[in-house]
Amino acid sequence: MRLSDLGEFGLIERLTAAVGTAARSESLLVGIGDDAAAWRSGDQVLLATTDAMVEGVHFLTGCQPWADVGWKALAANVSDIAAMGGTPEFALVTLAVSDRIAVKDIDALYEGLAECARNYGVAIVGGDIVRAEVVSVTVALLGRAQIQANGEPFLLRRDAAIAGQAIAVTGSLGDAPGGLRLLRQDMRRPHDDPLLAAYMRPHPPLALGQAAAGLGVRCGIDISDGLLQDLGHICRASKLSASVRAEAIPISLELKNAFPEEALEMACAGGEDYQLLLVGDAAVLRSLALDIDGPLTIIGETVADGDSDVRLLDATGREMALSRRGWDHLREA
Amino acid sequence: MRLSDLGEFGLIERLTAAVGTAARSESLLVGIGDDAAAWRSGDQVLLATTDAMVEGVHFLTGCQPWADVGWKALAANVSDIAAMGGTPEFALVTLAVSDRIAVKDIDALYEGLAECARNYGVAIVGGDIVRAEVVSVTVALLGRAQIQANGEPFLLRRDAAIAGQAIAVTGSLGDAPGGLRLLRQDMRRPHDDPLLAAYMRPHPPLALGQAAAGLGVRCGIDISDGLLQDLGHICRASKLSASVRAEAIPISLELKNAFPEEALEMACAGGEDYQLLLVGDAAVLRSLALDIDGPLTIIGETVADGDSDVRLLDATGREMALSRRGWDHLREA
């Protein structure tokens, strides 16, 4: 069997089985399979996550500023901590570099990392530097959860959704995949374009994740693999289904103008938006939306159905499906 | 300027300068530049380190079992926590894999990781899987320091050596670089050869690091870059010099038999032994040697001399230097 037959998630399942007894610990609260791991350490609950960016896969040298590569390598990890409702604190950075990269480019990469670290209150405290033909940046980010008065942590987990709850998302979706498409069409496009900026310098809504957890929201995930796929992770972990109203999905005017035909597809199935998806009581999510900067939009609800389906519905309530031309009605009337 | 002009340590210095304000935190005890970072978290002191292994640089596919690659990827990190006197607890594993690797090989890699995790009481709680042409395994390992009754941590630091202290090393040195040499000479050599085993499956002396810190030893480092280079890190961080008696360096019979001419060079300048070097009171180190399994050998002492020199002395006290043929006298009598 080859890796391509398994896919990333198949490989993760295989890993989870392989490490089996090596994944157990009395103090562990959340292990493999959520945005971050969580465990008790003295009077604290700690969070840890790691994300890697590889040249040619996650970024393209020559058309992305190195500072943006550095920013995004850390921001992707901040997004994981935000998706647990926690506070990021300390980062380790592993840099695999080839001698064909100029020192000034590495300096720029570190400057972008440092800028993101200052923005989110993270201290970069160590790392590793290795030689490799292909450049990659791997960040491990440690943080902590907020603790309730009873000593229990406030955590946003993938497996904590309940049927009949509302599904909400932050920001607008699809901007980052739209930006990537623009970049591929024109490598020299100005980087202040809002779609390109969304792709190159994501700003995960950290304060919102913390506020949601503090208000009692118990379920969340970051939208890094695309709305429908990430909501699918919640459905499988929580053993329920979900329905999403296509017209409720927040899509920016910039994305609609740039890709009128494909904006919905990008918002549903594009990756790397690094927004948050929350599942909780509709009234709590609405009050949260009033408290915070930036939009929080209710787009659907969870359904008591163990098939772990994610259904996208049109304005008339009919189910839609993705075809090669975008989202179509699944069943003709 | 190219990276090769700077070298790894030059690049780390540049990084330290670049992250500057992003490396500060009130709770930080040990930042960039030691075996692991350390910070206060509630009533605990946490430790974090990361190490990456890259195909073709740190391991060779085809002549090293994948299980050993997995074992060593975690063991190298355990060594960093041992060198702080701490206890490793939770690991994140980032795997960069190419589709040319068979799933059974990845399974073996994970089995080796899990075996090492069980051996050292580590829980593997998360990670990332990315696609890349070159395989690499990056582990981030979190642990904690022992805490004294007064709330201060017992830590082995690079900058805590004092002039006139004894220098001791665990195990025997040079076995791992000897094993690598054997492997390069004969890719099909049986893996139960003790030198090959030292190279492929290092066993960092975790309990000894903890015992040393608990007895009041304050300075240590792991020997992953070679004895003289790692001792040089301590000299620079502690602003003193060191002298090492060549004939006191523990060298195994296996290494002497396999490489009679080069054994001393391998013990002094070869890498990847993953033994510990401790600097402390000679009487404390001698009592520690009685308490533990496996050898702990005093090989020299620190000297009040701000040049941060590491001097290797022959049996008559004359300084030796490395030539192309091995260690020679630096100055002729």
Task: Give residue-wise pLDDT tens across range A114-125.
Answer: 999 999 999 999
* Mean pLDDT within B166-183: 96
pLDDT-based confidence at residue A8 (cuts at 50, 70, 90): confident
Contact B264/B312 with Cβ under 8 angstroms? no
pLDDT at residue B332, rounded to an integer? 41
Residue A21 has pLDDT above 70, yes or no: no
Of chain A, the percentage scoring pLDDT greater than 70 comes to: 95
Subunit contact A22:B124, Cβ cutoff 8 A? yes
Q: Fill in the amino acid letter for A286.
A: R
Interface residue of A6, A14, A15, A104 to substitute, partner B, most B CBs within 10 Å = A15
Q: Which residue stretches of A161-310 are H helix? A: 175-185, 194-200, 206-214, 227-238, 253-258, 263-269, 282-291
The neighbouring-strand residues paired with B46 are B39, B144
Q: What is the pLDDT of residues B218-268, one digit of tens each?
A: 999 999 999 999 999 999 999 999 999 999 999 999 999 999 999 999 999
Percent of chain B past pLDDT 90, that is, above it, reads 73
The reported pLDDT for the residue numbered A252 is 97
Residue B125 and residue A37 in contact, taking contact as beta carbons nearer than 8 Å: yes
Question: In sequence order, what are the beta bridge partners of B221?
Answer: B277
Cβ burial, residue A303 (10 Å; 0-12/13-18/19+): middle
Residues of A306-318 as b/e, b for ≥16 C-beta within 10 angstroms? Answer: eebebbbbeeeee
In A133-188, the DSSP E strands lie at 136-144, 146-147, 153-154, 166-170
**Contacts made by residues A251-255, CB under 8 angstroms, sequence distance 24+:** A251/A172, A251/A173, A251/A174, A252/A172, A252/A174, A252/A175, A252/A194, A252/A195, A254/A175, A254/A178, A254/A194, A254/A195, A255/A172, A255/A174, A255/A175, A255/A178, A255/A195
CA distance B145 to chain A (A): 12
Q: Within 10 A of A69 (CB to CB), how many other CB atoms are there?
A: 23
CA-nearest of A125, A142, A134, A140 to A89 is A142
* Position A85, amino acid: G
Q: Which helix (H) or strand (E) holds A58?
A: none
Closest residue in chain A to residue B126, using alpha carbons only: A32
Q: CB–CB of B178/B172 below 8 Å?
A: no
Amino acid B55 reads E
Substitution target from B12, B19, B40, B41 for chain A, most A beta carbons within 10 A: B19
Q: What is the CA radius of gyration of chain A?
A: 20
Given a cut of 70, is residue B325 above it in pLDDT?
A: no
**β-sheet bridge partners, residue B329:** B320
Answer yes or no: do A142 and B46 touch at CB < 8 A.
Answer: yes
Contacts of A87 in chain B (CB under 8 A): none
Tokens of B302: 């620190």
Please write the tens of the pLDDT for every residue from A134-192.
899 999 999 999 999 999 999 999 999 999 999 999 999 999 999 999 998 887 777 78
Neighbours of B323 (CB within 10 A): 11
Q: How far is B124 from chain A (nearest CA, A)?
A: 5
Query: Nearest CA to CA, how far is A25 from chain B (Å)?
Result: 6
Tens-place pLDDT, residues A231-265: 999 999 999 999 999 999 999 999 999 999 999 99
Identify the residue with better confidence: A331 or A11: A11
The reply to whether residue A110 touches residue B21, judged by beta carbons under 8 angstroms, is no
Average confidence (pLDDT) over B171-181 = 96
Closest CA to B281 of B219, B328, B208, B196: B219
Q: Which ranges of chain A would DSSP assign to H, the alpha helix? A: 3-19, 66-82, 103-120, 175-185, 194-200, 206-214, 227-238, 253-258, 263-269, 282-291
What's the rounded mean pLDDT across residues B262-290? Answer: 95
For A50, the closest of B39, B114, B140 (CB atoms) is B140
Cα(B47)–Cα(B41) distance, rounded to whole angstroms? 10
